[in-house]
């Protein structure tokens, strides 16, 4: 071990002046060595940080320190995991877990299959000819919330929506109630949905206040009278 390194390791317990005098080292020479050593370390950290950033970006910002460290080792870079974690904290690189998939479309086994009235033609010539409905989910601090949205295919504007902590039929009917109340569409509107159980339920079909049939054809008939 060099005298300079010994002084650097022991200076927490003894004064630098005493250590330099005992070892016969000029204090200015020790500080010059320490400055040079710190600069080399900083340069090495900078190069390593660039490698870490590249690995992090390649992972689509999902890798944390353990996986970045493992990738560095596979590339032949032998560095401490704590050093990788320190450099990632300094660069504010935080790994993210993939979002857990939550199923919102639960098909109804007994649903009657009918022809698709839309046939992938999602460009109507006027508003309130074709509404598109679906359900998504939102993660909150208090748990999962479910969002039912109805979009006018002509303007791409949301015409009805509802939020709840469940996936029952009431969620879909609340969104459709809002859309019908605000837009008051003329007969002929097609309400385009998937075959999820919320949209094919008997309760939705029997509600006299709004046509919520499980299929495109039934909804069109209801709105046509």
For residue 113, tell me if it sits in a domain.
no
**Is 21 among the domain residues?**
yes
- Is residue 110 a part of any domain in this protein? no
Is pLDDT above 60 for 112? no
86 CB-side CA count, 13 A: 9
C-alpha 70/C-alpha 224 separation (Å) is 63
Q: Sort 34 into a burial class: Cβ within 10 Å, 0-12 / 13-18 / 19+.
A: middle
Same domain, yes or no: 17 and 71: yes
Give a yes or no: residue 147 inside a domain: yes
Distance CA 135, CA 114 (A): 21
Quote the pLDDT of residue 193: 75
pLDDT tier for residue 117 given thresholds of 50, 70 and 90: low
**Single residue among 59, 90, 121 that ends a domain in this structure:** 90
The residue out of 90, 108, 138 marking a domain boundary is 90
What is the domain range of residue 12? 3-90
Q: Are residues 211 and 140 in the same domain?
A: yes
Distance CA 148, CA 212 (A): 14
**Rounded-to-integer distance, Cα 174 and Cα 54, Å:** 47
User: What does the pLDDT average to over 134-158?
Assistant: 85
Do 78 and 164 have their domain in common? no
Same domain, 154 and 206: yes
- C-alpha to C-alpha distances, 83 to 75, 88, 120, nearest whole angstrom: 16, 9, 54
The mean per-residue pLDDT over the stretch 123-136 comes to 82
Among 24, 58, 90, residue at a domain's last position: 90
Q: What is the pLDDT of residues 30-65, one digit of tens each?
A: 888 887 776 777 778 888 888 999 999 888 888 889
In a domain, 170, yes or no: yes
- CATH number of the domain within which 170 lies: 3.30.420.10
Q: pLDDT of 191-200, one tens digit each?
A: 777 666 666 6
How far is 214 from 195, CA to CA, in rounded Å? 7
Region of poorest pLDDT, from 72-86, 125-139, 203-217: 203-217
In this structure, are 145 and 67 located in the same domain?
no
With a CB cutoff of 8 Å and minimum separation 6, the contacts of 213 are 191, 204, 205, 219, 221, 222
Residue 60 lies in a domain: yes
Task: State the SS3 of the chain.
Answer: CCHHHHHHHHCCCCCHHHHHHHHCCCHHHHHHHHHHHHHHHHHHHHHHHHHHHHHHHHCCCCCCHHHHHHHHHHCCCCCCHHHHHHHHHHCCCCCCCCCCCCCCCCECCCCCCCCCCCCCCCCCCCCCCEEEEEEEEEEECCEEEEEEEEEECCCCCEEEEEEECCCCHHHHHHHHHHHHHHHCCCCCCEEECCCEHHHHCHHHHHCCCCCCCCCHHHHHHHHHC
Give domain status of residue 57, yes or no.
yes
Same domain, 50 and 135: no
Tell me the per-residue pLDDT of 19-30, one tens digit each, with 9 for 90 and over: 888 888 888 888
Domain count for the chain? 2
- The answer to the question of residue 14 being in a domain is yes
Whether residues 166 and 219 share a domain: the answer is: yes
Residues 86 and 11 in one domain: yes
Total residues found in the chain within this entry: 225
pLDDT tens sequence across 161-178: 999 888 888 888 888 889
């Amino acid at each position: 071990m060099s005298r300079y390194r010994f002084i650097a390791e022991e200076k927490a317990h003894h004064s630098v002046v005493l250590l330099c005098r005992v070892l016969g080292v000029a204090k200015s020479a020790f500080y010059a060595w320490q400055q040079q050593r710190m600069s080399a370390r900083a340069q090495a950290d900078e190069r390593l940080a660039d490698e870490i950033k590249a690995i992090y970006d390649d992972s689509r910002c999902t890798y944390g320190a353990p996986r970045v460290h493992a990738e560095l080792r596979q590339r032949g870079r032998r560095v401490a995991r704590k050093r990788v974690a320190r450099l990632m904290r300094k660069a504010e690189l935080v790994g993210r877990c993939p979002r857990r998939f939550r199923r919102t479309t639960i098909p109804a086994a007994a649903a009657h299959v009918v022809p698709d009235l839309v046939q992938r033609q999602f460009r109507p010539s006027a508003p309130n000819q074709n509404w598109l409905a679906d359900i998504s989910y939102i993660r909150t601090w208090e748990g999962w919330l479910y969002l039912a949205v109805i979009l006018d295919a002509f303007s791409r504007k949301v015409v009805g929506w509802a939020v709840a902590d469940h996936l029952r039929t009431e969620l879909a009917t609340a969104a459709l109630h809002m859309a019908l109340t605000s837009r008051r569409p003329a007969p002929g509107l097609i309400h385009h949905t998937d075959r999820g159980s919320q949209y094919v339920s008997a309760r939705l079909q029997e509600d006299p206040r709004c046509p919520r049939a499980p299929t495109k054809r039934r909804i069109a008939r209801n709105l046509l009278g």
